[in-house]
Amino acid sequence: MIFFVNILVPVVAGAVYFLMAAEIKRVTRVRKLIFGEIGYNKAFNAFLMFGIYFVTRPLQNILGPHPLPMIVNSLRQFFLMAVIAPSILVGIIHWVPSGDKPVPKSTTIAAYLVGLMMAAVFILLNSIAIDGSKIIASYRGINIYDARWFQSSPVSSKDISSGKRRISREANIPSFGNTANNTPQSAQVVAGECSTVSVGIIDDLKSPAVQEEKKMPAADAGGGGEENFVFPRARLIIIHLIVQFISPVGYFILAAAYVRHRRHNYPLSSVYNLMPKKWRYLEAGLLIFALSMITAGVAAFFGQYYTYLWVIYFFAAIVAGIIELISVKIPPREAPSDLRGK
């Protein structure tokens, strides 16, 4: 099952997007004269990059142990957040134009700049939190690895358990058991697409250490005269999720909203009377993609075994890709002469 989710499904998803990119390239030869070349070229490039993003997913698991899963994950997510998502948004704005006004350069720059910032934060958080890997499965002698969050230590320069014990004493909070019982087990979560984090995320959110973020004297923390802030793991994970919600999820939702607005304001008297239908499919594909990522993320955050939950995202990407392909293949008008003999 792990091989199916982590290796096979992403490859199939990538193949669907390569097929869609090829179809866009085919229809661009004639339709670029009607709708402009920039929009179709940007759409082709975006879907081609999406295919690359999906087919490289297995590399995250099969290249070897830490730090390779973290490096591949960071590169792929940077590619998605800083390049693919902005390209899709900008491409759709060109492909679904608003009157005769050209797309401002400031819109394009802002889209890529925000995506770049979110990707940089994502990679920074990955480098802070991921400190190991584990073998999650073996298939015919090939080990499948996955990155692990907080494997060797919590996110602070000192042991977070010492801070929890001291805070409990000061606040007269009853002990929740010994240190071993208070340390959550590890499992996989949405952050970083199948990276490993604490199962006790909710416990961390409710714990005194999170509610009362305090400085730990070196005597209690085991240091030599310095004071250190404890950075609760749950907060790091939440930030990790927020940046992914902005890019790529937010970009897809914004693109879908733009398409919906243009579809509802499209002139009924236009000769290209099937454009609203094309855009309806385009909007549906974008929303399915975005909602699948949100669903997988929420399920992973509150679930138990997180790798399997990403099959929601991969399968939805395939469905969204097929819907987008249908949108591209729908002619701009009934009985179009530009597709005759194609």
- How far, in Å, CA of 100 to CA of 88, rounded? 21
pLDDT of residue 244: 94
Structure tokens at 328: 């591209």
- How far, in Å, CA of 309 to CA of 297, rounded? 8
Q: Are 167 and 273 contained in the same domain?
A: no
- How far, in Å, CA of 326 to CA of 20, rounded? 9
Q: Are 269 and 291 contained in the same domain?
A: yes
pLDDT of residue 326: 86
Q: Are 284 and 218 contained in the same domain?
A: no
Q: Are 180 and 251 contained in the same domain?
A: no
pLDDT band with cut points at 50, 70 and 90 for residue 179: very low
- How far, in Å, CA of 78 to CA of 85, rounded? 10
- How far, in Å, CA of 323 to CA of 211, rounded? 46
Burial readout 90-127 (b: 16 or more C-beta within 10 A, e: otherwise): bbbbbbbeeeeeeeeeeebeebbebbbebbebbbebbe
pLDDT tens-digit series, residues 59-78: 999 999 999 999 999 999 99
Helix, strand or coil for residue 182? helix
Q: Are 114 and 248 contained in the same domain?
A: yes
Contact present, 241 and 212 (Cβ < 8 Å): no
Q: Are 117 and 250 contained in the same domain?
A: yes
Q: Are 55 and 139 contained in the same domain?
A: no
- Averaged pLDDT, 17-24: 86
Q: Are 44 and 100 contained in the same domain?
A: yes
| Residue 27 located in a structural domain | yes
pLDDT of residue 303: 65
- Averaged pLDDT, 88-113: 83
| Residue 340 located in a structural domain | no
Tell which wins on pLDDT, 238 or 156: 238
pLDDT of residue 134: 92
- How far, in Å, CA of 29 to CA of 40, rounded? 10
Cα four-point dihedral sign 189, 195, 200, 205: negative
Kindly report the CATH number assigned to the domain that includes residue 73.
Answer: 1.20.1070
Q: Is the pLDDT of residue 185 over 50?
A: no
Can you give the pTM of this predicted structure? 0.75
Q: Are 146 and 207 contained in the same domain?
A: yes
pLDDT tens-digit series, residues 118-168: 999 999 999 998 999 999 888 888 899 988 888 775 544 444 444 444 434
Q: Are 59 and 113 contained in the same domain?
A: yes
Where are the extended beta strands (E) located within the chain? 130-139, 142-149, 186-189, 195-198, 215-216, 228-229
| Residue 341 located in a structural domain | no
pLDDT winner (highest mean) among 79-83, 103-107, 191-195: 79-83
Q: Which of 34-38, 76-80, 274-278 is predicted least confidently?
A: 34-38
Range of the domain at 106: 2-130+243-334
Structure tokens at 332: 């701009």
Q: Are 112 and 167 contained in the same domain?
A: no
- Among 175, 200, 233, the domain boundary falls at 233
| Residue 339 located in a structural domain | no
Q: Is the pLDDT of residue 171 over 60?
A: no
- In this prediction, what percent of the chain has a pLDDT beyond 70? 68
- How far, in Å, CA of 116 to CA of 122, rounded? 10
Structure tokens at 64: 């070897």
Q: Which residue, 252, 243, 342, 341, is CA-closest to 292? A: 252
Q: Are 315 and 291 contained in the same domain?
A: yes
Structure tokens at 159: 């042991």
Average pLDDT for the chain: 75
Structure tokens at 135: 């073998």
| Residue 238 located in a structural domain | no
Contact present, 98 and 257 (Cβ < 8 Å): no
Total structural domains within the chain: 2
- Averaged pLDDT, 317-340: 77
- Among 233, 258, 273, the domain boundary falls at 233
| Residue 304 located in a structural domain | yes
pLDDT band with cut points at 50, 70 and 90 for residue 50: very high
Q: Which residue, 256, 243, 194, is CA-closest to 57? A: 194
- Among 206, 233, 260, the domain boundary falls at 233
Tell which wins on pLDDT, 69 or 173: 69
Helix, strand or coil for residue 2? helix
Q: Is the pLDDT of residue 340 over 80?
A: no
